[in-house]
Chains A and B, each alone.
Chain A
């Protein structure tokens, strides 16, 4: 019988030598391997199969190992480190944004040689650290693929030498032949450039300089010329005005110096420093503008009724002052009370009009003169030097061009083929010219018609100076070498005029001769370097001027009452983001929701709700105007019945891939009246030709549904009770009882206060946030699908009737709740709370369940629905209609902020990269963080200073003071989410007794 063993103890059997041997060789080796590794290869039994197996294995291993290798990327350090550049550390250079339409003194953030962000320059007495959406977005224009990359002759690539030779030859020939050449520029605020043009004209006497502004303010220039003998646009002081009456002037959105006016206006409405009163603002207008939406009272007025109303107001004021009233004109509204209140505020009021009609501007001047506002709220001695274009000059140019009186034209920063009503005719005429030169930076309709394109550098690549107001000088310096083979227009002119100096030297020379002597500085280099570092240089302003008012000019106007045709009145306006259309190719601006309509990527016809009901129009219906242009309808509450409004700046034909095909060009709809370019016209015909056109809007519901979202009270109630409108806040504080232990913030506790009295809704913060935090641009289709990505938004609600709604507005961003609903639902803890009160997002941990987004009561979280940024690990799935992933545009990305990939939630981080940077700096310099040292991007960009960021644990901080204000409340505080953002109740004159009924 076979012997069985039962355990290892009796195995091996003691008398079985074979088994004992087997146990001795416990480590058994694979016989095949042994043989293979044996030296006796010849005798080895290794078969061909084994060899092939091993061979195959090694090849496969090698192949796998080789293909897994990462490509080598070399980081080459500076051999000699350039001055001022520390890799990873940003430098700031002062510069100036001045494009003829806007002026802003800026600081340019440069990281590793690339400008990546624009900030306001706090040293500027004019813009005071504020910026506008266009200024914020201007850094992206630097990286626009639509920029010219080299000179062009007849559309073909050329080099500068050849272009210079041909242009100079042509200029010489025209000069000798005595044929007129026009240098058409936008308003130039650069004194050096103006002097340079003079010198250019000396060299070529046939050259005439003509200024053309896409949006003309010619009537103001002319009205001031007629009544004061001063052809200028004065400076305004909205902060000094207790009563502001605006007739269609959108001074917070687009009218003249909006950054400056927004700050002034916000100061006039501020109640945080113990003020007991705020300015009162009355807006007469036909469309609901950004400015009108902020007004205490809004009066609907057709553009055709403006003159009548102003005449009546003038008469009433004159009568009250015992002056001779003119013939009685019936105003559409009762102005009796208004005239009385205006007189009560004599010298402390301000009447402005956005019209480009000389008679209206004359009346406005007359009213301001009666109210003695000159020298207090209006400063004629220190005029605003932007917008110097005169319609008569431009009309002369157009007729010269039309009639073939010109030999050549040089276009500098202007695009009349697109934005002039007779653009089509101009294009044909330009193509026939002997000499047509464009000094444009990007491709434009006008440049496309020109024979020569001498591409200009971006302002961040160029030297320049500006004197936007007497005594206020600023400098622009290049922050990067020109990216392409471009040259700034001044250098082109210098070359063509035969100068050897470059423009940098030219400016220095100009400043040395003209500005340095008044500075009182010891030596020029110190003066120059200081001015360059500061970006601005200020001398004493001109003394106040009280010029004689020439009433005769007014008499002529007051007696003329031309009849107005019946029919829909169409008004053209600029959108706060796109403006006149020069920057239409900027994706940030296209995607910026309009502050009122919340529409992106389009222009449309704003139609009054009553008209829409009567005519049977609804949103998205396509209307053909004057058989020329087809625009979609957008029914806009607060629009004057009988009027239509459409935005200029859209419908670009030659502008680059972003702008082309977006909207319609409405410029041809309004014909110049004797050369004066009006802003409105009576429409001859309207036909409905289609329907269902989608307009991408980021907010579609307009009512607050009676919820306590935006709290408001009138000034009168506020003076009685500082908690007015915010009474329930006390209750919310009491109900905050909890059984759980609250986390104690021992170090910093970051918070942001938003003063709803100051926020005007201009939306600059949105662009600033996009630029700072690499927020993707998603395009119209995605906005239509409610996939927009902005981290901060401005909610806008209407209340009351559709004809005359009250507008409410509130910036909403991540509230950084200390009891955040998003945090506890994330399964992977990708969103969590810092010990400084920040609600954080770990992007690389996020798996994209979107649970946090659902559970956020504020809906501020944004999901990367597609690969918008090319950061995804899958290939071929990028959705980037705006070209933001183009290598050139990616240069604008902020290296301090991760670019998020597909499938990840993102949201406001309170600019944590800025917090960390300043904390580190303070630590290295061994001092405690000072209040105000850390500024979030939205706060820094805000022209109204409506946002204040800081440490709530610092009892001396401004944010703590604002949090202690009895106006403070939290959004949806009844949910006990404990937000770190506090809003201050909006206090206005709304809800008080009307002065217009």
Chain B
């Protein structure tokens, strides 16, 4: 008689500690696939074009972009918020799910954290290059100086600098800390004469002693405790850029929770996009199972619904506030010249994710992949709608204007995607995409074949 598992197994196939190590370190030990070379060529080409476009912008001026007198922020800030949003999944998965003791995170946390770091790095590019005078960017740091000038602590942009850099720092620490045991594994396995010393250096003398493990575990908890509030604070602070302004469509108290939910939503979508490709390309189907995908989809529908409620609340508040400017902005979003962007956002973020209520669709890899792309697009448009449609028709109709990106702006955006994928491809080539030690930790509890398999050591 078929025994129904209490929980769906998180590992399938023929597994042992040795097999797990062998499976996960395989991409590092073997020569990369042709597709990997194709991928990195394409992404670094995009990155190169992007960097050229960025240099041109810094040299010639932000006038190369389509932004203007009325719309001071365009694609750059849209991209900033989008990338920061994507950067939310990693820390959410590793920190908050760790605190909630969700075991299914172990298969995805490593790559999600890497994605977080690369996304935050991509995000960090945009506030820098959108500045009119990049060489003076250090003015934004509160350091003592002979000019006797201090920064303006009232400005949300300053809070941004602090929030994003803290987030990047903690994310990198958390990621690296978690990777130390695996780096030691690599140190012992990898034969390459250049890489081996590198892993040796990075593994900080890890021997796997009980004392090491004890310190490692407690440090993980401490960092998780530090990182968890950051997940909530970073995007709240990014949302303050808009919420503390006077511009209708920006000046909204709902923004912090709305932005955080949206960020986790988009982050999970990006994790899904990447993981669905990675599990196929790197033969990790046993580690990232349909069950993992379903768990992620459950979070996606929860977050998607929060975002949907936020959209509708915004519309209601615009009507209820009685402010003609507020009402107009939302009417204009839905019916004005940028209505197409609004409806892309609405359908991608609110409508299609609702299909996940069907179990079969939650467990369909094809559907999930397509939906994750839709959500990535939808969340980009959400930021575009917020940034551009609020600005383009604000208080005085005399200043109303339109915005469209120039090829330079598009090249910078695709360049940031190029940088992201280049870094990610390098990551999967040189670091374990799945936390080996952590997956081993759940082998006894969440592996379908465990009780019957006497090969286990």
Contacts and interface: CB of A to CB of B under 8 A. Distances in A.
Contacts of A905: 132
A183 interface: no
Contact of B62 (A782, A793, A825, A903): A903
Interface string A859-877: 1001111110000011001
B152 A812 contact: no
Contacts of A827: 140, 151-152, 155, 157-158, 161
B257 interface: no
A854 interface: yes
A705 B69 contact: no
Contacts of B132: 846-850, 863-864, 902-905
A74 interface: no
A905 B62 CA distance: 12
A849 B131 contact: yes
Contacts of B130: 849-850
Is chain B's interface secondary structure helix, strand, loop, or mixed overall?
loop
Given A849-B131, A855-B245, A866-B61, A795 B149 contact: no
B401 interface: yes
A795 B398 contact: yes
B154 interface: yes
A853 B397 contact: no
B397 A707 contact: yes
Interface in B139-160: 139-140, 149-152, 154-158
Interface residues of B, number: 50
A862 to B, nearest CB: 7
A854 B403 CA distance: 14
A797 interface: yes
Interface stretch (A249-257, A643-651, A695-703): A695-703
A485 B310 CA distance: 73
A706 interface: yes
Given A786-B401, A824-B154, A847 B395 contact: no
B354 interface: no
Contact of A829 (B150, B324, B393, B399): B150
A972 interface: yes
A903 B69 contact: no
B70 interface: yes
A84 to B, nearest CB: 38
A857 B161 contact: no
A576 B420 CA distance: 55
Contact of A786 (B68, B73, B149, B151): B68
Interface string A711-723: 0000000000000
Given A787-B68, A851-B155, A975 B397 contact: no
Contact of A858 (B72, B135, B325, B396): B396
B398 A857 contact: no
A826 interface: yes
B342 interface: no
Interface residues of A, number: 59
A922 interface: no
B13 interface: no
A240 interface: no
A826 B62 contact: no
B71 to A, nearest CB: 8
Interface string A527-544: 000000000000000000
B294 to A, nearest CB: 42
Contacts of A850: 67, 72-73, 130, 132
A275 B397 CA distance: 33
A824 B246 CA distance: 11
Given A825-B156, A845-B139, A847-B140, A704 B397 contact: yes
A905 B133 CA distance: 11
B144 to A, nearest CB: 15
A700 B133 CA distance: 30
A702 B397 CA distance: 7
A865 B61 CA distance: 6
Contacts of B398: 699, 701, 793, 795-797, 812
B113 interface: no
Contacts of B66: 785
Contacts of A903: 61-62, 131-133
A821 interface: yes
Nearest to B324: A707
A848 B131 contact: yes
Given A857-B396, A858-B396, A864 B155 contact: no
Contacts of A824: 152, 154-155, 244
Lowest 8 CB-CB distances: which A-B pairs, in order? A848-B132, A903-B132, A865-B63, A786-B68, A850-B72, A795-B398, A859-B399, A829-B152
21 contacts: A701-B398, A707-B325, A786-B401, A797-B398, A812-B398, A826-B152, A828-B149, A846-B132, A847-B137, A849-B127, A849-B132, A855-B245, A857-B246, A859-B394, A862-B69, A863-B132, A866-B61, A901-B133, A903-B61, A972-B395, A975-B246
Interface of A: 699-707, 709, 782, 785-788, 793, 795-797, 812, 821, 824-829, 845-851, 853-855, 857-859, 862-867, 873-874, 877, 879, 901-905, 971-972, 975, 977
Given A705-B397, A857-B246, 5 more contacts: A812-B398, A825-B245, A827-B158, A851-B241, A853-B72
